[in-house]
Structure 1
Amino acid sequence: MKPIAVIRHSPTEGPGHFATFLERRSLPWTLIRIDQGEAVPRSADGFSGLCLMGGPMSVNDDLAWIPPLLDLIRQTMAADKPVIGHCLGGQLMSRALGGTVIANPVKEIGWGTVRVIDSPLARAWLGDTRQFESFHWHGETFSIPDGATRILESAACANQAFVLGKHLGMQCHVEMTRAMIEAWCESGADEIRDASPADSVQSPTAMQIDIEGRLSALSRHAELLYSRWIEGLSTI
């Protein structure tokens, strides 16, 4: 099998538990470090699927790598290879499919419940799960692209995830590890301070309460989504 391409946009926002999930199943993957100046692949031919991670930038920013990455997303989908996006990655997917990315009514930072939409498609991806606690760190939100179906929502953000065929775009961060949360709390201290007080913004201390238990539960739900996603991988 060809490797899964994992696009990293920020050094502290790597694949996290997504990489652990792939490695436990002996699925090959390769990391493309946009944050270190590596070029966006021109073609999806060398990959079995495409994974997009998060980042502090906006899809609306004038960054040289965004247009070719949007092209790669569309090309990968046209080749019937699955795409998965986490936070910024989900926003890039929405934009590539003709959607929009705008400011969310509030910033959402820390742990928060996401609800599973009551639909056959949502159940196909998440089984009997009705809600779970996910991690969040965003100030913008994507629209649901034409033809896609919303499968997750939260009190602070209506569009938490969408599915289009074998493709999954998420606003929430299901890939989290303890090291990632600790790093984000350190690098994002000013953002947390400026956004507080708000019901949708937690302090670093609150984010790290029962962190191992919360991460264990989150990883179980992430693996439901990831398990469905890898069913669409190209084996050629």
Structure 2
Amino acid sequence: MTSGMKSVVAIRHLAFEDLGVFEPVLEELGYRVRYLDPGVLGADALEALDVESPELMVILGAPIGANDEALYPFLGAELDAIRHRLDSGRPLLGICLGAQLIARALGGRVFPMPEKVIGFADVSLTREGQEGPLRHIGNPDSVLHWHGDMFETPPGAVRLAYSHDCPHQAFAVGDTVLGLQFHLEADPGRIEQWLIGHAVELAEAGVDPVALRQQALLLGPDLERRGQQVFREWLMAADAANQLIPAAP
């Protein structure tokens, strides 16, 4: 690893639901990405994971529920890893399932929505959301939603965003913990992988993949730019909060 390079561990549940458009920002800011796939490696890999050393830890999305440890036992080990990371005070980002698991680890509820929300639709910001990195997405403006459950903003966290169907869309704990229900990281140029990988879910939810593809082509470039602005600003603030940015010579 290059001297001075920082590290990020990303817990990934599906190969195509990765860091997406966030990866160029990480490269720009001097991070080396390591993916951990618990579905391949099992709970033992999570139990053995050093959750304190990486400068950043990210928990990515998946089409399973945050309350499904009985069906997917590795989720119990994942929750434990998240709790240890929270205790360390070091930067932690959760997206979709990841945000729901962080909410659970902080004592918040995760529960089913009346119906799944899949597609590009508006998200609005609270006053606190407008004062932080999320202001770059606009208020309101379209983002990619893809979830059937939602979290409740957990105790000690600040609610940052909401939508018509989902009153809890984003939360933060200080400058170092961020939970996003929506997918700013998704690469619109790779939407076909999502359409193929979630084909059954789309059919069950009555979502037209042709329309979703067209939305990605239309909104993708601007949403990619705004998502990277959000992530860059949050990550730099999280680094600063943990005194991880070296002092200028």
TM-score > 0.5 by shorter chain: yes
Aligned-partner SS, 1:224: helix
- Alignment gaps of 5+ in structure 2: none
1:232 maps to which of 211, 223, 238: 238
User: Partner amino acid for 2:120?
Assistant: W
**What CA distance in whole angstroms lies between the structure 1 residues aligned with 2:128 and 2:168?**
18
Question: How far apart are residue 25 of structure 1 and its match?
Answer: 2.6
Candidates 107, 115, 123, aligned match of 1:106: 115
Does structure 1 residue 47 correspond to structure 2 residue 54?
A: yes
Q: TM-score, normalised by structure 1?
A: 0.89
Matches within 5 A, 1:173-192: 173-178=183-188, 180-192=190-202
* Partner residue, 1:223: 228
Unmatched tracts of structure 1, length 5 or more: 197-201
Deviation at 1:178?
Answer: 3.4
Partner Cα distance (2:61, 2:150) in 1: 13
Residue in 1 aligned with 2:104? 95
2:49 alignment partner AA: R
Matching of residue 85 in structure 1 with residue 94 in structure 2? yes
Is contact 2:52-2:90 (8 Å) kept?
no
Alignment of 1:19-30 (within 5 A): 19-30=23-34
Cα distance in 1 for residues equivalent to 2:186 and 2:99? 16
Per-residue deviation, residues 19-55 of structure 1 (Å, max 9, x unmatched): 1221133222211112322511433233112101101
User: In structure 1, what residue type is equivalent to 2:201?
Assistant: E
Helix, strand or coil: the match of 2:76?
helix
Please give the residue correspondences for 1:125-204 in structure 2 after superposition, counting only pairs within 5 Å.
125-127=133-135, 129-165=138-174, 166-178=176-188, 180-196=190-206, 202-204=207-209
Distance in 2, matches of 1:184 and 1:78, equals 34
Partner of 1:8: 12
Q: Partners in 1 of 2:93 and 2:226 — Cα distance?
A: 15
**Given the two structures, how large is their TM-score scaled by the length of structure 2?**
0.85
CA distance in 2, matches of 1:139, 1:125: 26
Correspondence for 1:206 among 211, 220, 229: 211
CA–CA distance in 1 between the matches of 2:229 and 2:96?
A: 18
Measure how far apart 1:83 and its partner are.
0.7
Deviation for aligned residue 1:111: 0.9
Q: How many residues align?
A: 230
Q: Which residue of 2 aligns with 1:199?
A: none
Do the aligned partners of residues 180 and 92 (structure 1) sit closer, same or farther apart at CA in structure 2, a change above 3 Å counting?
farther
Structure 2 residue 125 is the aligned partner of structure 1 residue 116: yes
Give me the identity figure in percent.
30
